Every structure is written in structure tokens, then in C-alpha cells.
Amino acid sequence: MTDKVQFELVSPAKLLLSEEVEMVVVPGGEGDFGVLPGHTPMLTTVRPGVIDIYENDKVVKSIFVVGGFAEVSEERCAVLAEEAIAVEDLNRDDAESRLQKANDALTAADNDIAKQVAERELLAAEAMVAACGA
């Protein structure tokens, strides 16, 4: 068994990242989880939040992702994200204006699906603001 995990981050438009990492922490739908080599195969949802990539027990890269899925196998971890932005590229003003917009959309939502979408957007925006502060 190797001591590295093949981590892949994919957005609808392209393959963003594909590299060998020591450990990666993914914000799962039911709580954060870390992936080390030999992880149980698993399929899970990903909530808006920050993915941390560890190298020598230190975070070397943090990426903010919105919504998606993670597919984990013993030697691989693939995250499908709708949006992915490196944390250092996040902008607090953008995040806050997005939060504002999401709030407006939620008030304006007049059917179930629009409401669902607005709620999801609100969560994404909140996570984005939180990621900026961190």
C-alpha cells in the first residue's frame, strides 16, 4: 500500500486538480472527514466548505468548494464540485454580496424548488463568508 492518496478535484468545466497527497479533509454532508490511504470505499455528499490538503501534517492548500459529491476508494479520493475557489483568492466583499443576494432570493422564492435552490445558495454564501474569515 502506498502512503499517498490520489486526490482529484473536478468541476463541470474541467479537471481542476489531480495530485498525490498525504491526507485530505473534505467537508462531508454529515460532517468533515479525512481521507488517508486505505480509506473504506464511500460515496457521500459534500456541503459548502473548505477542503484542506495536508502534507507533513500541515495544511498546504485550502480550497473552498460549493456543493458536490465525493467518491472515496482505498487509493483515490475524487471530489465533484460545482464551484471551487482557492481560499486565498476568496474575497470578503464578494462573499457578503452573495450572501445578500441569496437572502433576497429566498424571500422572493415562490415555489418549492426555487426555495430549495435559494436555501442551498444561502448555505453556500454563508460558508463562503466563513471561509473568508478563517
Applying CB under 8 A, the residues found at the interface with another protein are 8, 10-15, 28-30, 40-45, 67-69, 71, 78, 80, 82, 111-114, 117
Chain centre to alpha carbon of residue 73: 18
Nearer Cβ to another protein (108/114): 114
Nearer Cβ to another protein (23/66): 66
CB of 75 to another protein, least distance (A): 14
Nearer Cβ to another protein (52/121): 121
CB of 90 to another protein, least distance (A): 18
Classify each residue of 88-108 as buried b or exposed e, where b means 16 or more C-beta atoms within 10 Å of its C-beta: eebeeeebeebbeebeebeee
CB 122, CB 103: distance < 8 Å:
yes
CB 78, CB 70: distance < 8 Å:
yes
d(CA 76, CA 116): 32
CB of 52 to another protein, least distance (A): 19
Nearer Cβ to another protein (82/126): 82
Grid coordinates belonging to 39:
480509506
CB of 127 to another protein, least distance (A): 16
